[in-house]
């Protein structure tokens, strides 16, 4: 190591190592992050200094495993795999442009499909936190020691906006959804001076989603 001008570090304690040429040896000297080049590839590794005869360096199993080196005893070859490039996701537009340029592409398309009839207890996140997902959720949460509150800007007056105009079919659907929510006890009647208008938004399957417009309330809410 002195001949190669490689700095040597002394570690606390001693290591006893079995070598193929010198038998059992004891050392406490290491070369930290020593530069080593193998078949044109550059590595930085921690080398343990031990006396060797006719051997420059021994690559241990940990290093061979970490660098995925393949040893073929039958063919008597040692193969160092090429560094893997990071995978990159491409949008459908990028794929289309690449095909126009006659690029060679190996593509894999994946889609997520939720099987019908999946039970909530079969979902991984539910299994991981069983206490958070009770078996019966057919009612509003029970009263807690600390009730949830929304902090408003001081001096704010109650906000109650005029309901949005709806067609007869929309009013019928709104009544149906409100009755369903009342029956499940997800909502309850209220005479609060605060109010927010609701509207129905059509979903892809043709059904209507009930949405509450909280924009005016959000403006006076302390974040």
**Structure confidence by residue, pLDDT tens digits, 16-27:** 887 776 678 888
Does residue 36 sit in the same domain as residue 81? yes
Average pLDDT over residues 169-176: 92
| Bridge partners of residue 79, in order along the sequence | 70
Per-residue CA distances from 184 to 47, 48, 104, 140, 187 (Å): 69, 70, 56, 8, 8
**Last residue of a domain, which of 62, 89, 110?**
110
Task: Give one DSSP letter per residue of 171-182, joined into a string.
Answer: HHHHHHHHHHHH
Q: Based on the domain organization, do 37 and 105 belong to the same domain?
A: yes
Instruction: Calculate mean pLDDT across residues 140-146.
Output: 69
Please state, in angstroms and rounded to a whole number, the distance separating the CA atoms of residues 126 and 120.
7
- Judge whether 138 lies within some domain: no
Query: Considering the chain, what percentage of its residues have pLDDT values greater than 90?
Result: 10
pLDDT score of 146: 75
Distances (CA, A) of 57 to 18, 41, 64, 131: 14, 16, 13, 56
The CATH number linked to 208 is 3.10.10.10
Shared domain for 100 and 13, answered yes or no, is yes
Alpha helix locations (H) across 23-123? 61-66, 92-100
| Domain total of the chain | 2
Q: Are 67 and 43 in contact (CB under 8 A)?
A: yes
Higher local confidence (pLDDT), 80 or 86: 80
- Assigned token pair, 37: 């080049």
Question: Predicted confidence band at 3 (pLDDT cuts at 50, 70, 90)?
Answer: confident
Identify the residue whose tokens are 């490039």: 85
Domain range holding 149?
144-219
Residue with tokens 């809410």: 221
* Claim: this prediction has a pTM higher than 0.95: no
Give every CB contact of residue 107 below 8 A, 6+ residues apart in sequence: 90, 95
């Amino acid at each position: 190591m002195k001949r190669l001008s490689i700095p040597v570090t002394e570690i606390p304690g001693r290591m006893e190592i079995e070598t193929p040429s010198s038998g059992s040896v004891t050392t406490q000297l290491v070369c930290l992050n020593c530069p080593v080049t193998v078949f044109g590839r550059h590595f930085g590794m921690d080398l343990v200094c031990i006396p060797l005869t006719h051997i420059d360096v021994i690559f241990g199993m940990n290093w061979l495993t970490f660098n995925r080196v393949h040893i073929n005893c039958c063919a008597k070859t040692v193969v160092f795999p090429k560094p893997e490039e990071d995978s990159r996701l491409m949008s459908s537009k990028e794929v289309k442009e690449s095909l126009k340029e006659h690029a060679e592409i190996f593509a894999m398309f994946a889609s997520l499909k939720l099987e019908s009839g999946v039970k909530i207890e079969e979902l991984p996140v539910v299994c991981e936190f069983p206490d958070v997902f009770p078996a019966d959720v057919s009612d509003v949460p029970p009263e807690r020691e600390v009730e949830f509150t929304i902090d408003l800007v001081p001096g704010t007056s109650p906000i109650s906006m005029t309901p949005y105009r709806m067609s007869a079919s929309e009013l019928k659907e709104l009544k149906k959804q409100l009755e369903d929510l009342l029956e499940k006890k997800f909502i309850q009647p209220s005479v609060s001076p605060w109010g927010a208008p609701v509207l129905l938004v059509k979903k892809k399957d043709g059904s209507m989603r009930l949405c509450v417009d909280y924009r005016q309330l959000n403006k006076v809410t302390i974040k």
